C-alpha cells in the first residue's frame, strides 16, 4: 500500500476520493467479529475504522494533520452512502453510521468513481491578444532583423515594389492601446504565471477562463490601502459596521474597546456573531467559479514546495472579486490574531483555538456549488495553509506588477510602421495590422551583437526561473542543475542570488598576482 500525490489537473476531487478509497480498502485490518450471537468474517467495527482512517488522513500529504476525528466519521458516513462499505447484512445507501462497535465490511463490487473524459471540443479556447494578428508581432521583429543583417529579405523588396516607395519613407507611429487591450495584458500575464507555477499543460483543465475578469485583477493589485487590504469603490459592498466592530474586538482582545461588556462568555457571543454573518453570505469567499482552481492548488501544498504554493495562492486570490478578496483578507487577519493571542479565553471547551478557527470558517471560505464528498477535508487543508501564510498570500506580488507595467510601457513606446486609413465615421486614423516583413529593417553589426547578447541573457534568466519552480524536477536534481548553472553563468546567478555570491567571495581568499608571477619565475629558472 502506498500513497500518491494527486497532482493538479481536471477532476482532482474525484481522483482524491478514489485514492482514499483505494488506501482504505487496501489497508484497513479485517478480522472475525461476533455480534448478536453470530460470527462474521472479514469485517471491522465503525470505531476501528474511524481510528485507522483518521490516522491515514492525518499522515497523507493530500489532507494533512488538521483532519479531526469528527471529519473522519463524516467521511465514513459518505463511504456508507456511496457503497464503499456496507454493514454485515449488506445494507448501504444511508449515512446512519456512528462511532461505535457496529460491524461493517467491504462490498465485492468496485467502489471507485469513474473519471469523466471531456470531449475534445468541450473546452472553448479563449482568443486573447496573443492570438490577434499583428498585436504581439514585435516579439518576432528581432528574429527577422538578424536575418536581414547581411541581405535584405526578398519579401521586403516585393513589398517595396507593391507600395512603390522605399521603406525609409514610411513613418512609424506609436502603438495605440485601448483599455480593453491593457486589461487583456493584465489577464494574460497573470494566467501565464499561474499556469507555469501549477505545471499544467493548459489552465482550461482547471479553470473556466470566462470567469476571469481582468478588472478584478487590476483592482486587487492597484487599489489597496496602507495596510495592504483592498479598498472598495462602492462602500455598500463592504462588511457591515457591526461585523467590522466585532472582528476588531476579537482581533485586539482585550484592548480594543474599554466600554465593551465584561460578562462571562461575551467573547464567545461576539465570535458566534461573526461566524453567523459569514455563513449567511450567498457564496463562499473563494467563489464557486474558482473552486476547481483552488482544489488543484492543494496539489502543490507540500512542505518542500511551500514557496511555490504561496506564489500560486497569491495569483489565484487576485482573480477574486474585490469584495470577496477584502472580506477574505479581514477574516484571515482576525483568525490569525485570535489563534496567536494567549490572552484570548477558550472559545470552545473541547477544541483548541486554532483548530476552532479553521473548522468554523472553512465552509464559508471554500465550497462547491454541487455536493462534494471531500469538501470539508479539502477546505480544512486549504484554510489552514491560508491562515498560516495569510500575510504573504494576500499581499500584492510586486514582481507581477513590475512585469505587467514594463510590458504595457513597451507596447506604448514601440514604434511600428502601420497603414493609416481614415475612418469615415470619426475622422480618426485606423491602425490596421500589417504583415511581419513590414517591421523588418537592416541593422548594423553592433546592433545585432547587442540584441543577440540581450536575448541570450534573457533566455538564461528564464531558464534559471524554470529550474527554481519546475515541479517535475526532484530536489536532488534541482540542486545539481543549479550548481552547474552557477558554474557556467556566474553573473546571471549572482543577479538572482546576490547574497550567496558575497558569501562565496568571503569564503575563498584571493591570491595576489605578484605571488603568481614569483612562482612562475622560480619554476622557469629551475628548468634552465
Contact 393, 386 (CB under 8 A): yes
Report the half-sphere exposure of 421 (CA within 13 A, side-chain side). Answer: 7
Contact 235, 225 (CB under 8 A): no
Q: How far is CA 88 from the centre of its chain?
A: 45
Report the half-sphere exposure of 15 (CA within 13 A, side-chain side). Answer: 18
**How high is the pLDDT of residue 432?**
35
Measured CA to CA, the distance from residue 156 to residue 160 in angstroms comes to 6
In the chain (528 residues long), the average pLDDT of successive 10-residue segments reads 67 88 94 90 95 93 86 93 93 91 91 69 42 40 41 45 46 70 94 90 87 96 95 93 92 71 81 94 95 89 82 96 97 94 85 91 91 84 93 94 90 61 42 34 60 69 78 80 83 78 49 44 43
What is the spatial order of strands in the sheet that 103-105 belongs to? 31-35, 38-45, 103-105, 86-87
Measured CA to CA, the distance from residue 239 to residue 229 in angstroms comes to 13
Q: How far is CA 71 from the centre of its chain?
A: 26
**How high is the pLDDT of residue 409?**
87
Measured CA to CA, the distance from residue 464 to residue 225 in angstroms comes to 34
pTM score > 0.85 for this model?
A: no
**How high is the pLDDT of residue 302?**
74
Q: Kindly list the structural domains of the chain, giving each domain's residue range(s) and its CATH number in brackets, ordered by start.
A: 12-105 (1.10.10.10), 134-175+414-443 (no CATH), 182-400 (1.10.555.10), 444-528 (no CATH)
Euclidean distance between the first and the last CA atom of the chain, given in angstroms as a whole number: 74
**How high is the pLDDT of residue 50?**
96
SS3 (DSSP) at 224? strand
**How high is the pLDDT of residue 173?**
55
- The number of helices, as runs of H, and strands, as runs of E, in the chain is 21, 8
Amino acid at each position: 500500500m502506498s500513497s500518491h500525490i494527486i497532482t493538479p489537473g481536471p477532476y482532482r476531487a474525484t481522483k482524491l476520493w478514489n485514492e482514499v478509497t483505494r488506501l482504505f480498502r487496501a489497508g484497513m485490518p479485517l478480522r472475525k467479529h461476533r455480534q448478536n450471537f453470530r460470527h462474521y468474517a472479514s469485517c471491522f467495527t465503525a470505531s476501528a475504522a474511524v481510528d485507522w482512517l483518521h490516522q491515514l488522513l492525518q499522515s497523507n500529504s493530500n489532507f494533512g494533520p488538521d483532519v479531526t476525528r469528527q471529519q473522519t466519521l463524516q467521511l465514513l458516513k459518505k463511504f456508507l452512502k456511496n457503497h464503499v462499505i456496507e454493514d454485515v447484512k449488506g445494507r448501504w445507501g444511508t449515512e446512519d453510521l456512528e462511532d461505535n462497535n457496529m460491524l461493517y465490511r467491504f462490498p465485492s463490487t468496485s467502489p471507485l468513481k469513474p473519471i469523466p473524459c471531456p470531449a475534445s471540443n468541450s473546452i472553448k479556447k479563449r482568443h486573447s491578444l496573443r492570438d490577434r494578428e499583428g498585436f504581439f508581432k514585435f516579439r518576432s521583429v528581432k528574429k527577422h532583423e538578424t536575418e536581414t543583417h547581411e541581405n535584405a529579405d526578398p519579401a521586403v523588396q516585393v513589398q517595396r515594389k507593391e507600395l512603390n516607395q522605399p521603406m525609409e519613407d514610411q513613418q512609424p507611429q506609436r502603438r495605440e492601446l485601448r483599455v480593453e487591450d491593457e486589461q487583456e495584458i493584465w489577464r494574460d500575464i497573470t494566467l501565464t504565471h499561474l499556469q507555469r507555477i501549477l505545471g499544467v499543460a493548459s489552465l482550461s483543465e482547471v479553470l473556466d477562463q470566462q470567469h476571469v475578469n481582468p478588472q478584478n485583477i487590476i483592482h486587487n493589485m492597484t487599489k489597496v490601502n496602507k495596510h495592504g487590504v483592498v479598498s472598495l469603490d462602492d462602500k455598500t459592498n463592504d462588511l457591515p459596521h457591526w461585523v467590522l466592530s466585532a472582528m476588531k474586538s476579537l482581533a485586539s482582545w482585550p484592548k480594543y474597546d474599554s466600554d465593551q461588556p465584561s460578562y462571562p462568555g461575551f467573547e464567545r457571543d461576539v465570535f458566534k456573531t461573526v461566524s453567523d454573518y459569514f455563513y449567511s453570505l450567498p457564496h463562499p469567499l473563494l467563489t464557486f467559479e474558482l473552486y476547481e482552481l483552488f482544489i488543484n492548488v492543494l496539489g502543490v501544498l507540500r512542505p518542500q514546495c511551500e514557496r511555490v504554493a504561496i506564489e500560486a495562492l497569491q495569483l489565484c486570490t487576485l482573480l477574486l472579486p474585490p469584495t470577496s478578496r477584502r472580506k477574505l483578507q479581514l477574516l484571515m487577519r482576525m483568525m490569525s490574531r485570535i489563534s496567536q493571542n494567549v490572552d484570548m479565553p477558550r472559545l470552545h471547551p473541547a477544541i483548541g483555538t486554532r483548530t476552532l478557527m479553521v473548522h468554523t470558517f472553512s465552509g464559508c471560505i471554500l465550497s462547491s456549488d454541487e455536493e462534494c464528498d471531500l469538501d470539508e477535508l479539502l477546505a480544512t487543508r486549504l484554510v489552514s495553509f491560508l491562515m498560516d501564510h495569510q500575510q504573504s498570500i494576500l499581499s500584492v506580488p510586486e514582481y507581477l506588477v513590475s512585469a505587467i507595467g514594463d510590458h504595457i510601457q513597451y507596447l506604448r513606446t514601440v514604434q511600428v510602421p502601420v497603414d493609416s486609413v481614415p475612418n469615415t465615421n470619426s475622422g480618426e486614423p485606423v491602425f490596421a495590422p500589417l504583415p511581419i516583413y513590414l517591421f523588418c529593417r537592416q541593422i548594423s553589426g553592433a546592433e545585432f551583437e547587442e540584441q543577440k547578447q540581450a536575448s541570450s541573457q534573457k533566455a538564461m534568466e528564464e531558464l534559471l526561473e524554470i529550474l527554481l519552480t519546475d515541479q517535475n524536477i526532484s530536489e536532488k536534481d534541482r540542486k545539481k542543475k543549479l550548481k552547474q548553472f552557477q558554474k557556467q553563468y556566474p553573473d546571471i546567478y549572482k543577479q538572482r542570488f546576490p547574497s550567496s555570491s558575497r558569501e562565496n567571495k568571503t569564503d575563498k581568499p584571493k591570491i595576489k598576482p605578484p605571488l603568481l608571477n614569483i612562482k612562475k619565475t622560480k619554476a622557469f629558472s629551475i628548468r634552465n
